[in-house]
Amino acid sequence: MSLTLNTPLDMHLHLRDGEMLTHIAKSSGKTFSGAIIMPNLVPPVCTKEDVLAYQERINTAMGEEVFTPYMTLFFKPSYDKAFLSSVRDTITAVKLYPAGITTNSEGGVSGFDVEELRPTLEAMSELNIPLCVHGETNGFVMDRETEFASIYERLATAFPKLKIIMEHITTRSSVDLLGKFDNLYATITLHHLLITLDDVAGGMLQPHLFCKPIAKRPEDRDALLEVALNAHPKVMFGSDSAPHPKEAKEACGCAAGVFTAPIALQVLAELFEKHDALENLQDFICTNAQNIYGVRPPSKTITLEKIPFQVPSDYNGVVPIYANQEIAYSIV
């Protein structure tokens, strides 16, 4: 059995920088035609010059792979309309992080006073620049995303013309928000469709499954599966593939992030087939993203064969999900 996917997109991707970028970029470039690139470098991507320089480094790391990096800025409340107009043609979105809530987010937003954020968010609305949000508070770890729902509601109500992407949602409450506001959309990762907190810490601790937002309850995973498998038009695939060196994951103070990029399409195909939903995979990994963001990536065809594939133990020192395990599909 073979399966052909056209122009697959990853709408939430960490490529890092330096040697890590060089080592892992092609693991996305080989199978995806483009991706929304996260800006939480050290220092973060905050200027037009930062965007263009990072884009150039990504293109160099990709080599001859057909791949479009859709660039983002790290949100600052100081961005005014003049600045955003000057960068509009070089970015696809702006990414908002609550301060200190995840990797390299210390310079994020400390409060969510709508009036303080209004000048920037109104300018983004007028310029049709989407806002991507890491939606967590600093409360109890299992409640952080649910607690953030009220902030999404305030933002969606105050800025009805602003397209807001709830990134890597993990809860039923976030899924429910999709039906309440026309301007709320979401990305869903591969790993949150597969695992619950039990897989991470129910037995021996599995550091390579530890991520933020942390995996939740079975009923939350089931809610994500329902909208993903049915290719709900307001959801799209965003891997949140987040590489860390093996020594940073298998350590006290384990870094948060799951590396899924090299095998994401194969495992998605296996998952959708298991649930008799293969006919919806194309919409989940491409069509919905094109409609939501209005992007038109370069044409790319990926063919998967129902041939077992042994996942390597690591990719240049980064351990992937399902390392040393066999998955059902291989890439031709």
281 is in an annotated binding site: no
Tell me the H-state helices in the chain: 18-29, 48-62, 81-87, 114-127, 144-158, 172-177, 191-194, 197-201, 218-229, 246-249, 264-274, 281-282, 288-293
Q: What letter would DSSP give residue 278?
A: G
Q: Tell me if residue 222 is catalytic.
A: no
Q: Which two tokens stand for residue 237?
A: 């695939």
Tell me the C-alpha distance between 169 and 134, whole Å. Answer: 9
40 is in an annotated binding site: yes
Q: Among 201, 99, 190, 97, which Cα is nearest to 142's?
A: 201
Ordered DSSP codes for 210-226: --SSPP--HHHHHHHHH
Q: Tell me if 88 sits within 8 A of 49, measured CB to CB.
A: no
Three-class DSSP category at 206: coil
Strand arrangement of the beta sheet that strand 72-74 belongs to: 72-74, 93-96, 131-133, 164-166, 184-188, 235-237
Three-class DSSP category at 191: helix
192 is in an annotated binding site: no
Q: Which residue out of 143, 240, 276, 314 is catalytically annotated?
A: 240
84 is in an annotated binding site: no
Element (H, E) at 331: strand 330-331
43 CB neighbour count, 10 Å cutoff: 11
12 is in an annotated binding site: yes
14 is in an annotated binding site: yes
Three-class DSSP category at 232: coil
93 is in an annotated binding site: no
81 is in an annotated binding site: no
For residue 48, CA distances in Å to 87, 104, 204, 301 come to 6, 20, 45, 32
Angle between helices 18-29 and 48-62 in degrees, nearest 10? 60
Tell me the C-alpha distance between 273 and 175, whole Å. Answer: 22
208 is in an annotated binding site: no
15 is in an annotated binding site: yes
For residue 200, CA distances in Å to 132, 225, 251, 310, 311 come to 26, 19, 15, 22, 19
Could you tell me which residues are annotated as the binding site for Zn(2+)? 12, 14, 95, 134, 168, 240
Residues that are catalytic: 240
Could you tell me which residues are annotated as the binding site? 12, 14-16, 40, 95, 134, 168, 240, 244, 256
Could you tell me which residues are annotated as the binding site for substrate? 14-16, 40, 134, 244, 256
